Chain A
Amino acid sequence: MDTVETPRRRPAGVGPALAVLEYHLIGYRRVWRGSVLSSFLLPLLTVVGFGLGVGAYVDGGVAGVPYLDYLVPGLIASTALQVAVAESTWPVLGNFEWVRVYAGQAAAPLRVADILGGHLAYVLVRVLISSVVFLAVAAVAGSLHSPWALATLPLMLLLGLAVAAPVFAFAASIPSDNYLALLIRLGVIPMTLFAGVFFPVESLPVVLRGFAYLSPLWHAVDLSRAATLGTAPTWSLPGHLLYLTAWALVGCGLAHARFRRRLVF
């Protein structure tokens, strides 16, 4: 069996995490066509339905721009959120409980950080793909008013990590997927509705406005809107970035601790 020389030591640096990313991408290769098609359809349908349909009833637009143009940057962010959550909930729990992919990886010379980092990187790739597609649809619809619109891509990666990392931690802490439905109902749906995607948060009652400000989504929506419209954000730029970075960092720390607890015991 020894016709092939194999390395005798654990490979160094980010190599192991990249190998984990490569594994996830090879799985994605089997389904990417359908997935890209649906990432086209979703923005297309929402742009048509909400932008043109609902927009026709919004006289004079919102914040001085047509409703569709107001809506598109919010939808880019909420779609990034949806993708990040979808890829961090059932797939993560499944890798612990049903398919047990993580257990197989933990038996290889990978560290917990490689297993977690490689999977998170894959989620970010998915977020990036869907953001690029959405941005292209928005460009065709004529809803982008500034070259700063390109800045939404790194911004969506930051939002993706700010959401995916804590959701990884959550999914690694629960025994069954009942809790995931709870997360969607109590976290994701209210965030999508109240974090400034469809209308300015200023029109919300104070309590809900507070929820919007706490959610990572609002911070990304506000920046995304500033980028595609070429205006200034309603809140401090560094403030937004720091807040999202804090979610990402705390999320990664928690996820690492929860992964470790569930894989090495």
Chain B
Amino acid sequence: MTTAQPLIQARGLVKRFGDFTAVDGIDVEVRPGEAFGFLGPNGAGKSSTMRMIGCVSPPTAGELRILGMDPRRDGPAIRARLGVCPQLDNLDPELTVRENLTTYARYFGIPRRVAAQRAAELLDFVQLTERAGSKVEPLSGGMKRRLTIARALVNSPDLVLLDEPTTGLDPQARHLVWERLFRLKRQGVTLVLTTHYMDEAEQLCDRLVVMDGGRIVAEGSPRELIDRYSTREVVELRFVVDSQQDVAGKLDGIGERVEVLPDRILLYVADGDAAMAQVHGRALAPASVLVRRSGLEDVFLHLTGRTLVD
């Protein structure tokens, strides 16, 4: 396999469940060594896409090649070289931390002695060595997630799939997971992850696609997406209660875009201080002002809307 060949190549990939189209014709290419993200609200089709890439869900239509092979025909051979960290933990709570790794290693035909050695290395990597002999059941959510990540690495995979790797974890646990994933990335492991956390995507992803309603609505590096779909800075203005609608009309023409939210007004501008000078110039006196850099969250909300998806 040459390094130029993409590890994942999807063309017009479709997944339908009955009448419902979960993935509606997406094109994706993931290259060796990169960290690639699928972003999107719930129901955008991220997990369905990940299941197809993980070769546990046959595509309804379109072309999909993983590691140069066809998932319809070579599922087990592809899965032998993947690591999968699912959205919902499926560790065995009755087995010990170590046994969860060694039994899983056996599914890959790894000899027992090698499995034990590999388990020890991986427990060290995810900082669970001290818990190696204890049962999984009483572990915290963050520990279980780290163990699941270790399990996904037991076969030294070419490609690691992480479906919402830090959902439900507290901030300390999230940062520890990110730090470990970042190390993997530095070692040259190709990561594909889904997330709806923008900070996670900005931290980890070299390149990402934003999905909405089963389609890809944007693609690029975090920086490119911010440049393309948002302004350099955002000014958040809060006014005294109920005066917001009246004020909104008076802000026209400042910056590229004005967005009125129930509790504040957002001005998308190139230069926050210059924009504030204009606001004051129009004799408006907001109760509070926050000037910040534009982030992926602004891109995300702009592209997928603010309507709640359940």
Q: Do A and B come from one complex?
A: yes
Nearest chain B residue, comparing its CB with the CB of A104: B90
Q: Quick check: A99 and B92 within 8 Å, CB to CB? A: yes
A110 contacts B107, C-beta separation under 8 Å: yes
For B55-89 the 0/1 string (1 means CB < 8 A from A) is 01110000000000000000111011110101011
Closest approach, in angstroms, between the C-beta of B64 and any C-beta of chain A?
15
Chain B residues near A8 (CB-CB < 8 A): 80-81
Q: Mark B187-228, 1 if CB is under 8 A from A, else 0.
A: 101000000000000000000000000000000000000000
Decide yes or no whether B26 CB sits under 8 A from chain A: no
A9 sits at the interface (CB 8 A): yes
Distance to closest chain A CB from B163 (angstroms): 10
Q: Given A104-B90, A106-B56, is A11 in contact with B121 using a C-beta cutoff of 8 Å?
A: no
**Interchain CB contact under 8 A, A26 and B107:** no
Binary contact track A95-117/B, C-beta < 8 Å → 1, others 0? 00001110111111111000000
Q: Are the C-beta atoms of A264 and B106 separated by less than 8 Å?
A: no
Q: Please, which residue of chain B has its CB at the minimum distance from the CB of A103? A: B90
Contact residues on B (Cβ < 8 Å of other chain), bracket: 35 or more
Partner of B106, one of A4, A19, A27: A19
Q: Give the chain B neighbours of A15 by CB distance below 8 A.
A: 109
The A-contacting residues of B in range 141-196, CB under 8 angstroms, are 151, 153, 155-156, 184, 187, 189
A3 to B118, CA, bound (A): 8
Residues of B contacting A27 in the complex (Cβ-Cβ under 8 angstroms): 92, 94-95
CB distance from A201 to the nearest CB of B (A): 41
Q: Are B92 and A108 in contact (CB under 8 A)?
A: no
Interchain CB contact under 8 A, B95 and A26: yes
Q: A110, B88: Cβ atoms under 8 Å?
A: no
Which residues of the partner chain B approach A104 to less than 8 Å between Cβ atoms?
86, 90-91, 104, 151
Can you list, as one digit per residue, whether each of A24-37 has a CB less than 8 Å from chain B (1) or not (0)? 00110010000000
Q: How far is the CA of A61 from the CA of B289 in the complex (A)?
A: 96
Among A5, A22, A107, point to the contact of B79 (Cβ < 8 A): A107
Q: Does chain A have a CB within 8 A of B12?
A: no
Q: Are A1 and B121 in contact (CB under 8 A)?
A: yes
Which residues of A (118-136) have their CB < 8 Å from a CB of B? none
Interface centre among B56, B82, B109 (most CB of A within 10 A): B109
Proximity bits, B32-76, A CB within 8 Å = 1, else 0: 000000000000000000000010111000000000000000011
**Per-residue contact bits, chain B 260-271, to A (CB 8 Å; 1 contact, 0 not):** 000000000000
A26 touches which of B79, B93, B103 (Cβ 8 Å): B103
- Where chain B touches its partner, the secondary structure class is loop
A4→B155 CA distance, assembly (Å) = 9
How many chain A residues sit at the interface, stated as a range, is 35 or more
Q: In the complex, what's the smallest C-beta–C-beta distance from A53 to chain B, in angstroms? A: 38
Per-residue A-contact encoding for B96-124, CB less than 8 Å = 1, 0 else: 00010001101111100010011001100
Taking the complex as formed, is B125 at the interface, i.e. its CB lies under 8 A from any CB of chain A?
yes
Nearest CB on A from B98, distance (A): 11
A19 to B57, CA, bound (A): 23
Q: A residues within 8 A CB of B110?
A: 6-7
A261 interface residue per 8 A CB criterion: no
With contacts A6-B155, A10-B80 taken as known, whether A107 is within 8 angstroms of B57 at the C-beta atoms is no
| A2 at the B interface (CB under 8 A) | yes
Q: A1-B187, A99-B92, A109-B80 given as contacts; is B121 within 8 A of A16 (CB)?
A: no
Is the beta-carbon distance between A109 and B79 smaller than 8 angstroms? yes
| A23 CB-CB contact with B under 8 Å | yes
Which residues on the B side are within 8 Å of A6 (C-beta)? 108, 110, 114, 118, 155-156
CA distance A2 to B157 in the complex (A): 10
A264: nearest chain-B partner, CB-CB: B56
**A115 and chain B: residue at smallest CB distance:** B107
Out of A26, A30, A100, A263, name the residue touching B88 (CB < 8 Å). Answer: A100
Who on chain A is nearest to B117 by CB?
A4
| Chain B residues positioned under 8 Å from A10 (CB to CB) | 76-77, 79-80, 109
Q: Is A20 an interface residue (CB 8 A)?
A: yes
A11–B103 touching, CB < 8 Å: no
Could you say which of B79, B99, B107, B156 contacts A19, with CB atoms under 8 Å apart?
A: B107
Say if the beta carbon of A265 comes within 8 Å of chain B: yes
Please, which residues of chain A bring their CB within 8 A of the CB of B80? 7-10, 109
Taken together as a complex, chains A and B put the C-alpha atoms of A6 and B121 apart, in Å, by 14
Sample of 5 A–B contacts (CB below 8 Å): A7-B110, A23-B92, A26-B95, A99-B93, A101-B90
13 further A-B pairs in the complex, CB-CB below 8 A; given A8-B81, A27-B95, A107-B79: A1-B153, A4-B114, A4-B118, A4-B121, A7-B155, A9-B77, A10-B80, A10-B109, A11-B108, A11-B109, A30-B95, A103-B90, A108-B104
A residues with CB within 8 A of B: 1-11, 15-16, 19-20, 22-23, 26-27, 30, 99-101, 103-111, 263-265
Residues on B close to A: CB < 8 A? 17, 54, 56-58, 75-77, 79-82, 84, 86, 88-95, 99, 103-104, 106-110, 114, 117-118, 121-122, 125, 151, 153, 155-156, 184, 187, 189
In the complex, the 3 A-B pairs of residues with the closest C-beta atoms, listed nearest first: A11-B109, A100-B90, A108-B107
